[in-house]
Amino acid sequence: MQHRRPAALLGAAALVAAAVTAVTVGPVAQAADTPRTALGAHGQKLTVSASANLDPAGETLRVTGEGYDVTKGVYVALCKDNGDNRIPTPCLGGADQTGGSGASKWIVPEGSAEAPAGVAEVWGPGGTFDVELDVKAKDNGLDCTEVACSVVTRVDHNGTGDRSQDVRIPVAFEGQEPGGGDGGEGEEVPPGTVSYVRSAEFTAAGMPLSLLLHPDSGRLYVGSGNTVDTGSVNESGLYVLDPADGKVLSYIPQAPGTTGALAQRVVQRLVKALPGDGVVFQYPVRGIGVAKTGDSAATGVWPAGGTITGTGPGTTDGSVLIAQGAVVSEVEYATGKVLRTVTLPSSGGHLGVDPARRLA
């Protein structure tokens, strides 16, 4: 089977700016586990005044930091924790560039012309800050009783793919364990609505573009592009996962170009399963690749013609169908040899194929 961008494999999204009403609360929260500190990858130190048994109706947390890069703007907020190397989103207060939410703070370089006075805090000596966050369990589309949440720092809207200032401290509200939450979206679904139940969330396969559960080996093949918010890490390629737990069994990033030179490729479409294990896939702009679990690189051919706009299984074990605009061809995926071609009266796109009836 094959699906586009499944809900169970979620790519990260950018923070959405939104203003929310500030919460009026009592003194800065204190708890038995306070204060709690986390360290960043580049020597940053983040400390929060409380992280457990927070009042769901609202509390004020004191958040301090040191050792941050003073040349970059940073948001400080309570956000859904999407794991290592992923943008934490959504957040209470959104990407607050107004200074009015109370649930999110913006720290900027000294002399920044982007943030008017009163809207953002300026870095202290040594990359330090000291702010208060007004937080509660549910607000601005975020429900921390349903998902894992953390107090986080991250580079502001000027560097959404920059993960260098990410530091996270998991928090929990009354009745939760620290870092709790089931990873769900926490959205209300009206009675009678056709919906889905999340069975797993696999976050180690880049930006999923195409899926194929192999009928023989039972392995989950994932064609992937690159997730922008992972910064300098390019995640494109072909992944093989264990569908039971999401463990990556194999990662095949490279496939040949027109000259045969190997390079990292985006895997756009998974075309067909091979007997036993392995898949045929399509990659830009007209590459047809073949790989299986354990391969270090894919083999591939580049059929003549224009950009491939659609694919499907061929009528033989060794062939696939490709659409190149209005031209549909059946080609051998091992050699690129064209077996037959038909020109359609209009531009071709994705192909639906019924191998049993030999129809496309």
pLDDT value at residue 160: 77
Q: Give the span between the Cα atoms of 301 and 3, in whole angstroms.
A: 24
pLDDT value at residue 209: 94
pLDDT in tens, 203-231: 778 889 999 999 999 999 999 998 766 66
Spell out the long-range contacts of 193-197 with Cβ–Cβ below 8 A and sequence spacing 24 or more.
196/7
pLDDT value at residue 243: 92
Report the CATH superfamily, name and number, of domain 36-171. Neocarzinostatin-like (2.60.40.230)
DSSP secondary structure, 204-243, as one string: SSSEEEEEEE-TTT--EEEEEE--GGGTT----EEEEE-T
Supply the pTM of this predicted model.
0.56
- Name beta bridge partners: 77: 104, 152
Whether 126 has a pLDDT exceeding 50, the answer reads yes
> How far is residue 359 CA from its own chain's centroid?
36
- β-pairing verdict for 142-143 and 279-283: unpaired
> What phi and psi, each to the nearest 5 degrees, are found at residue 123?
-55, 140
Which one, of 1, 8, 16, lies nearest residue 218 by Cα? Answer: 1
Question: Contact at 8 Å (CB) between 265 and 290?
Answer: no
pLDDT value at residue 216: 97
Q: Give the span between the Cα atoms of 176 and 108, in whole angstroms.
A: 34
Which one, of 301, 340, 305, lies nearest residue 325 by Cα? Answer: 305
Question: Contact at 8 Å (CB) between 321 and 311?
Answer: yes
181 versus 103: the higher-pLDDT residue is 103
How many CB atoms are closer than 10 A to CB 167?
Answer: 24
Half-sphere exposure of 205 (CA within 13 A, CB side): 29
Q: How many residues does the chain have?
A: 360
pLDDT value at residue 122: 93
Name the amino acid, one letter, at 203. T
DSSP secondary structure, 146-169, as one string: TS-EEEEEEE-GGGTT--TT-EEE
Task: Give the pLDDT band of residue 184 (cuts 50, 70, 90).
Answer: very low
Contacting residues for 43 by C-beta, under 8 A, at least 6 apart:
67
**In the numeric block, which tokens belong to residue 212?**
């194929």
pLDDT in tens, 48-69: 999 999 999 999 999 999 999 9
| Residues above pLDDT 70, as percent of the chain | 78
CATH topology of domain 208-343: Methylamine Dehydrogenase; Chain H (2.130.10)
245 versus 331: the higher-pLDDT residue is 331
Domain ranges of the chain: 36-171, 208-343
- β-pairing verdict for 36-39 and 45-48: antiparallel
Name the amino acid, one letter, at 37. T
pLDDT in tens, 4-44: 333 333 332 222 233 333 333 334 444 445 689 999 989 99
Which one, of 272, 303, 268, lies nearest residue 283 by Cα? Answer: 268
pLDDT in tens, 66-80: 999 999 999 999 999
**8-state DSSP, 289:** E
pLDDT value at residue 85: 78
Average pLDDT, the chain: 82
201 versus 136: the higher-pLDDT residue is 136
Whether 358 has a pLDDT exceeding 70, the answer reads yes
Whether 298 has a pLDDT exceeding 90, the answer reads yes
Q: Give the span between the Cα atoms of 274 and 290, in whole angstroms.
A: 9
3-state helix, strand, coil in the chain (%, to 5): 0, 35, 60
